């Protein structure tokens, strides 16, 4: 795999050495068991796969290349390049400005951006509508290479579904940049709809099976279906694609459920299903799959608690938290700064979408910990978390 030129501010010699050793011992990535770091009173189960993925490293390399290549120009990012505060803050400190926030709210007016400026497309890609604005403004320096290739793979699958006359069902978080971009591309070539979870898949099944009046559809899925969507026509043949950072088991559950729904409604044999259902659930990216599988294997070991490090608005990181908290006490933190002391931790509640503080979270005499991070988290943040935790037990990385 390509080696990217990533600024040293994001790197950790300790974590790089661990990853290199695991890669050399298991270059085919068949062993998903965690690396065990034993410091005596503290034992850390470090997930086999975590941290920057291909798409993130590609985006960061591209962003810093844009900065270096254009020292006298104003450089803009359409929105956060990835969902990590540490990375985005570093880019701001290098003079990059964000045109929109992660929800698509305008931070800088398009009128303030000129053809002489530089624009970087974030890893999630962008909508056709925004690409049209950039083209109309005549901006020549647009860095498209920062887009994640696995997101573009989903768009390719969308085109394949559309060419065969299927309606596209996008499983994703409606407000997520990647889902908005995928939906924009999808609705330009096919009837399309966004569903966010299994509950909404069940709602959709009611319309497929004619168990609810079609008029209800337009209220329930307002703003999430393509123009001219016809419930009675466009749900007869469907294909499923997904936001690449979602929980793999949920995407599979939704795809399986909708396939059964279509099969039962049309009274199809197994051999006939493909005529009405195109299953594209394999659009989940490799890093999301590997990170989730690594966490599942890590959870087979006993531990006192789990810590997941990453951006609080990171979808793939939040799903790692979901996996962990189903098994044991789990704390979702942004950096070592969240470890306020050995008795106090500030962490993100993914259910209430707010910061909370917990107390007496560490056992006093010894600690066994599960540790991982999302695909947008720099390795240096993991190292800093390890150092901070060890200090609470009067230990160090050299212990």
The model's pLDDT over 286-320, given as tens digits with 9 standing for 90+, comes to 788 899 999 999 999 999 999 999 999 999 999 99
Q: How many domains does the chain have?
A: 3
Q: Which domain holds residue 173?
A: 149-284
Show which of 241, 259, 284 is a domain's final residue: 284
Residues 331 and 278 in one domain: no
Residues marked active site are found at: 178
Q: Tell me if 399 is assigned to some domain.
A: no
Residue 325 is predicted with a pLDDT of 98
CATH classification of the domain holding 295: 3.40.1010.20
Residues 270 and 193 in one domain: yes
pTM, to two decimals = 0.90
Residue 244 is predicted with a pLDDT of 87
Residues 88 and 124 in one domain: yes
In Å, what is the CA distance from 300 to each residue of 308, 317, 355?
A: 16, 19, 28
User: Distance from first CA to last CA of the chain, Å, rounded?
Assistant: 33
Residues 167 and 268 in one domain: yes
Show which of 143, 170, 199 is a domain's final residue: 143
Residue 218 is predicted with a pLDDT of 96
The four Cα atoms 76, 80, 81, 86 give a dihedral, to 10 degrees, of 110
Regions in the chain scoring below 50 on pLDDT: none
Residues 155 and 250 in one domain: yes
Residues 231 and 300 in one domain: no
Q: Tell me if 20 is assigned to some domain.
A: yes
Residue 313 is predicted with a pLDDT of 93
Residues 268 and 156 in one domain: yes
Residues 279 and 308 in one domain: no
Q: Tell me if 58 is assigned to some domain.
A: yes
Phi, psi of 231 (to 5 degrees): -60, -40
Residues 275 and 260 in one domain: yes
Residues 87 and 107 in one domain: yes
């Amino acid at each position: 795999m390509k080696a990217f030129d990533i600024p040293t501010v994001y790197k950790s010699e300790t974590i790089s050495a661990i990853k290199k050793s695991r890669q050399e011992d298991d270059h085919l990535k068949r062993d998903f068991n965690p690396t065990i770091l034993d410091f005596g009173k503290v034992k850390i189960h470090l997930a086999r796969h975590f941290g920057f993925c291909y798409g993130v490293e590609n985006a960061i390399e591209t962003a810093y290349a844009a900065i270096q290549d254009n020292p006298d120009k104003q450089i803009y990012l359409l929105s956060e390049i990835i969902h990590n505060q540490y990375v985005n803050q570093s880019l701001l400190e290098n003079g990059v400005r964000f045109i929109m926030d992660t929800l698509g709210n305008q931070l800088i007016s398009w009128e303030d951006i000129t053809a002489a400026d530089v624009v970087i497309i974030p890893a999630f890609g962008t909508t056709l509508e925004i690409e049209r604005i950039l083209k109309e403004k005549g901006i020549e320096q647009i860095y498209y290479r920062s887009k994640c290739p696995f997101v573009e793979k989903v768009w390719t699958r969308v085109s394949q579904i559309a060419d065969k006359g299927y309606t596209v069902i996008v499983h994703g978080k409606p407000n997520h940049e990647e889902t908005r971009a995928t939906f924009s591309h999808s609705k330009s070539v096919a009837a399309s709809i966004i569903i966010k979870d299994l509950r909404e898949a069940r709602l959709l099944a009611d319309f497929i099976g004619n168990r609810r009046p079609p008029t209800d559809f337009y209220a329930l899925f307002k703003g999430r279906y393509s123009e001219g969507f016809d419930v009675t026509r466009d749900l007869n043949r469907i294909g499923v694609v997904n936001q690449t950072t979602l929980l793999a088991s949920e995407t599979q559950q939704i795809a399986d459920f909708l396939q059964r729904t279509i099969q039962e409604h049309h009274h199809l044999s197994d051999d006939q299903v493909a005529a009405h259902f195109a299953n594209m659930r394999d659009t989940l990216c490799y890093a999301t799959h590997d990170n989730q599988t690594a966490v599942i294997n890590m959870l087979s070991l006993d531990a006192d608690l789990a810590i997941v490090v990453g951006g609080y608005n990171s979808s793939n990181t939040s799903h790692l938290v979901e996996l962990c908290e189903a098994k044991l006490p789990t704390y979702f933190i942004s950096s070592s700064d969240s470890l306020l002391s050995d008795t106090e931790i500030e962490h993100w509640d993914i259910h209430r979408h707010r910061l909370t503080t917990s107390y007496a979270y560490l056992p006093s005499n010894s600690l066994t910990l599960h540790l991982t991070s999302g695909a947008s988290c720099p390795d240096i943040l993991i190292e800093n978390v390890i150092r901070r935790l060890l200090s609470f037990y009067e230990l160090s990385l050299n212990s």
